A and B are shown apart, each in its own frame.
Chain A
Amino acid sequence: MMGYVFMRFGADFRPENVDRLREKVGECLNRAGIHGSTNFLLLNMMDELICNILEHAKASWVELEVHPREKEVTVIFRDDGPAFNPSPKLTDEAQDKHIDQQVEHAEGRRMGLYIVSQIAKEWQYQRLKNQANELSLRVDLEAQEVKR
């Protein structure tokens, strides 16, 4: 594992921009020493959150920090969108209560947080003094390997 990685970006929510952003996030994870299918798994989790932020919150910028440690990685998102605390929904999704109903009725629009809740082990939200959202997610890499 290498040191922490930071990136800041602003992007219109368009396919070519999001594709480019995915490449950058994948490279960011590589620089943090996270490779292979673990890189792809974390990229999926981060993609769900980034797309939510860009599509729904209409944020003009997003900051991303990746802090790798020996057996875990912490990912921190900051954005200047309206205050939104996803923690209660993530906690609910982690308990796997509503997956069937989501599939039947929501046609995918809420499954993103379900995916995030299945990959991250802990999450913490705060509204910062500069009116930004900050969401911190901890992923237990050992537990993710065991799930395979």
Chain B
Amino acid sequence: MSRFEIKEELREDGIRIVSPEGKLDVFSFMELRKYFEDLAAEGKAMMVVVDLKGVDFIASSGWSVLLSRRSAFRRLGGDLTVCGMTENIRRVYDTMKINEMLPVADDVEGGIKILSAPEAV
């Protein structure tokens, strides 16, 4: 099995569910960045939920891709949120105090709700 993989599902309502799997670290963050850059290159307003349930480690480089891509999507009128963090990864997320910059939900449905009502974040 590859050390890091990205799966995706495009829903009928246009929301894209992106599911990375493995370790999101200094060796793999460029794969996720490239994936998001290719999406952004379409120039459309993308609504993306990143489901992290298959990710067992996120280093600073991984967090930064998620944070910076959210900014990029918002500039194009879209948005990005994350969900499905393990307890361990949630502990790191809470410690970083980035909840306002990168909204989190428990699961995909919660992530979709956040995207549907961003003012509630």
Interface residues of A (CB under 8 A from B): 15, 18-19, 22, 37-38, 40-41, 44, 47-48, 51, 55, 96, 99-100, 102-104, 106-109, 111-112, 114-115, 118-119, 144, 147-148
Contacts and interface: CB of A to CB of B under 8 A. Distances in A.
B79 to A, nearest CB: 15
Interface string B52-70: 0000010111111101100
Contacts of B91: 37-38, 40-41, 148
A109 B61 contact: yes
Contacts of A55: 26
B64 A41 contact: no
A115 B94 contact: no
A37 B88 contact: yes
B73 to A, nearest CB: 13
Contacts of A18: 25-27
Interface in B65-93: 65, 67-68, 71, 87-89, 91-92
Contacts of A100: 101
Contacts of A106: 64
Given A112-B59, A112-B60, 16 more contacts: A19-B3, A38-B91, A40-B88, A40-B89, A44-B59, A51-B25, A51-B26, A99-B98, A99-B101, A103-B67, A103-B68, A108-B61, A108-B64, A114-B60, A115-B60, A115-B63
A63 B71 CA distance: 38
B16 interface: no
Contacts of B26: 18, 51, 55
Nearest to A55: B26
B16 to A, nearest CB: 21
A144 B59 CA distance: 19
A108 B94 contact: no
